[in-house]
Structure 1
């Protein structure tokens, strides 16, 4: 590997030359290196999981971009050098985050965030024996982050189970134990 300094010709060149040398830029420095070939090592379990997740994300992006409304939504979020496909893959790669579950009188208030959009939040009230007493979809509040669900009752020793789902269908589950 060589760092290139003050070479007018190589200031404009990027890519592979003669299937032997690769020229690229990283952190503002031009680097010349021997062209890498495919790895001879067996991929790790984490690498295989990441590849599978990326395959699913790419498949989602291809399907979802057939919907003109969602394509326009993702395109509106794209920055310079990005497109709707890039944004859809990025959205499919990450699950939403449930930051907080709190109780306000008979309301369950869920703070859920996603880099793009949380599509829905489902709330289940479960008793101490594990039976579901009630379930339903929460309603998005005015602030765009808090979701509200009005409960009939909260059983002592039970729990509130919250499932947040984003546009690609990635779900995150979090529980709040009731005293």
Structure 2
């Protein structure tokens, strides 16, 4: 790979030359590199999983960029050499994180984070027998990290399940055992 500096001949050239060289621009620099061909090795299981995940992420990014509001949101987070599509793919790759579930009287407070944005937090209250007693959506607090849900009742021996969902639809859940 070579970075081309002050060469008038290559300022306007992009693409593949003679099936041997590729010339492209990245972050304002012109780069010449040997043309890469497809690998001759059989992909591993992890590579196949990564390709599948990338396929899903790319499909999400293409779909989400049709919404002007979300496209503008992702574009606002893009750095140099990045665009809204890159940010949407990055968001689709990583799930949100439920860091903590705590009780404040009958309020369930869930601390959830995502590199981009947590879209919603669902709360499920399950009794000791395992049947669903209550379900609802938490409301985002002023700090932008804590989500609040007013529970009608908290059955002893039951559990609270918090499910955080990001813009890409990735879900992460965490449970809190009630005493």
Same-fold call, TM cutoff 0.5: yes
In structure 2, the CA distance between the partners of 1:168 and 1:34, relative to structure 1 (3 Å rule), is closer
Per-residue CA deviation, residues 59-114 of structure 1 (Å, 9 max, x unaligned), is: 11111111111111111111111111111111111111111111111111100011
Q: Distance in 2 between matches of 1:41 and 1:57?
A: 25
Superposed displacement of residue 46, structure 1: 1.3
Which secondary structure state, in structure 2, belongs to the residue aligned with residue 95 of structure 1?
coil
* CA apart distance, 1:18: 5.2
What is residue 115 of structure 1 aligned with on the other side?
115
Cα separation, 2, equivalents of 1:148 and 1:104: 10
Q: Distance in 2 between matches of 1:16 and 1:49?
A: 30
3-state SS of paired residue (2:165)? strand
Partners of 1:102 and 1:48 in 2: how far apart? 39
SS, match of residue 120 in structure 1: strand
Tell me by how many angstroms 1:143 deviates. Answer: 0.1
Matches within 5 A, 1:29-108: 36-108=36-108
Distance 1:84 1:23, change over 3 A: closer
| Residues 141-176 of structure 1: CA deviation (Å, up to 9, x unaligned) | 000000001111211211101110011111111111
Cα distance change on mapping 1:76 and 1:23 into 2, 3 Å = closer
> 2: CA distance between counterparts of 1:162 and 1:153?
16
Instruction: Give the aligned length.
Output: 166
Residues 132 and 103 (structure 1 numbering): CA distance in 2 closer, same or farther, change over 3 Å?
Answer: same
RMSD between aligned residues: 2.5
* TM-score normalised by length of structure 2: 0.82
Deviation at 1:41, TM superposition (A): 2.0
| Secondary structure of 1:163's aligned partner | strand
Deviation at 1:45, TM superposition (A): 1.4
Runs (4 or more) in structure 1 with deviation over 4 Å come to 13-24, 32-36
In structure 2, C-alpha distance between the alignment counterparts of 1:65 and 1:139, rounded to whole Å: 26
Show the counterpart of 1:27.
none
C-alpha distance in 2 between matches for 1:136 and 1:33 = 55
Runs of 5+ unmatched residues, structure 2: 25-31
